[in-house]
Amino acid sequence: MILKIGILVVFFGILIGVGLYCRKHATDVNGFVLGGRSVGPWLTAFAYGTSYFSAVIFIGYAGQFGWKYGVATTWVGLGNAFIGSLLAWVILGRRTRIMTQHLDSATMPEFFGKRFDSKSLKIGASVIIFVFLIPYTASLYNGLSRLFGMAFHVDYVYCVIAMAVLTAVYVIAGGYMATAINDFIQGMVMLVGIILIIVAVLKTNGGFMQAIQSLSEVQDATVSAQKGAFTSFFGPDPLNLLGVVILTSLGTWGLPQMVQKFYSIKSENSIRKGAIISTFFALIVAGGCYFLGGFGRLYADKIAIDGGNIDFDSIIPTMLESLPELLIAITVVLVFSASMSTLSSLVIASSSTLTIDLIKGNIVKKMSEKKQVLTMRVFVLVFIVISSIIAIIQYKKSLAFIAQLMGVSWGALAGAFLAPFLFSLYWKKVTKAATWSSFIFGVVVMVLNMLMRDSFPVLLQSPINCGAFTMLAGFIIVPVVSLITKKPDEKLVDDCFACYDQKVLVKAKEALADEE
């Protein structure tokens, strides 16, 4: 116990120290929200990766999908690495950095507002982010209760408070730069931790080959009549597995807290390095988490079952119970790291959106840089307090509707923003009406799925599949509506895209000189 507490104290001390050290970078809006647009490849890549993967992935998704699909769940981790990370950097990274700086936008709503010269789009996007990021933020605390109960026998409420206070201290003090540096530290903990945990769990099951052999003998007639279904290439339910891959991989392209990482990239070199680093990080962390979860059925005799329903959140903690105390301590720090890094990213996205896109220019007509930064710091605290209260209420009262709202938040955000944001970076003909159509479709479909799930087709009753559907539908809605609605102002669009035509000097090894 002394060892576990000691590791946590050192870890927390480092996080707070970084926050206090980075105060000098958070004196204006650009510094507090974007780190002065001068963040290097390692910090940006780790900030992207740690914001991507939280305790929801490690405790919830890895356990749930590993139970359902076996080791084939590893495909989700591979999708996260190559679609959610590598392709996102290649397709969005450079263009996002160039156009957002050209438009002087620090948030996604501000981007939409300036890209289409529309105050209503800016406010609409802000409201969507505010409504759906709060429950998503609250969900980050999920999974901590069982893990801390196992390791420290500490009540969940105290875990939530500790995580909230620590995150608030370093985010309020140091802004984005403190978050980025701490994300790097937390990311290293996640990388080392997941590798050690996988090795230890496989070792307790006789090694990799023996674990696979044992898993191949597990049969569940309610899932599949196929023998060895949980060790097969695509698992017992490939179609629903594909829905998970699409939502968790492609979804990051439309999440404001993820896209915002590209705003702060320092240079072209940072984009190339960041893409590689981010992909490697996702391969290890996401691939490792889902691979580990695939062996959950080996612990079926120890998993909590309530009235025939599997308690998915108990699967990973159950797998870790028999590990050495040092590994349990590392696991606790890993889950804390995963949750705090994502929480810090979400509260910065929420507070900056509310301040820059809703209050500034609407409620408060003139707002100085100093007042904006102060307001954002206040809202960071407010968002952390609200999300903590929601998490505690849900835990104490078991309110199902809050859990459902958490489940649809990712699908609603990505379904609303992914297609219009991507098209806006590449296609001049995107219209304001098309953007609104995607906003409305993504949000309405996911809210209806939450309220009237049984009325949806069987395949779309799952919020995972429904979220994937709204994202893919956006790729049809945006171009079709753009072609049949009023064309955007030509001068406005040309000005937006002029940033891509600016000439820059590069070394000969990067581009051949034109012949004279």
Residue 196 forms part of a structural domain: yes
pLDDT of res. 516: 45
Residue 515 lies in a domain: no
Name 31's Cβ contacts closer than 8 Å, sequence gap at least 6: 25, 175, 176, 177
- The answer to the question of residue 165 being in a domain is yes
Residue 428 belongs to domain spanning: 2-501
Q: What's the pLDDT tens digit per position in 253-301?
A: 999 888 888 888 877 778 888 899 999 999 999 999 999 999 988 988 8
What is the number of other CB atoms lying within 10 angstroms of the CB of residue 505? 5
Distance CA 354, CA 360 (A): 9
Residue 313 within any structural domain of the chain: yes
513 domain residue, yes or no? no
**Helix residue ranges, H only, 70-118:** 74-81, 88, 94-102, 108-115
- Please check the confidence at residue 399 and state whether its pLDDT lies above 80: no
Q: Is 512 part of a structural domain of the chain? A: no
Query: Looking at the 3D structure of the chain, how many domains does it have?
Result: 1
Mean pLDDT of the 220-231 span: 79
Mean pLDDT in the chain?
85
Of the candidates 388, 386, 448, the residue with the CA atom closest to the CA atom of residue 412: 448
Tell whether 34 is covered by a domain: yes
| CATH assignment of the domain containing 289 | 1.20.1730.10
C-alpha to C-alpha distance for 403 and 500, rounded to whole angstroms:
43
Tokens standing for 346?
Answer: 């979400």
pLDDT tens for 347-394 read 888 888 888 888 887 777 788 888 888 898 998 899 889 888 888 887
What pLDDT shows up at residue 386? 87
Give the mean pLDDT of 226-254: 88
Report the percentage of the chain scoring pLDDT > 90: 32
Is 508 part of a structural domain of the chain? Answer: no
* Cα separation values, 238 from 68, 72, 73, 397, 410, Å: 11, 9, 10, 35, 22
pTM of the predicted protein model: 0.86
Identify the helix (H) or strand (E) that includes residue 70: none
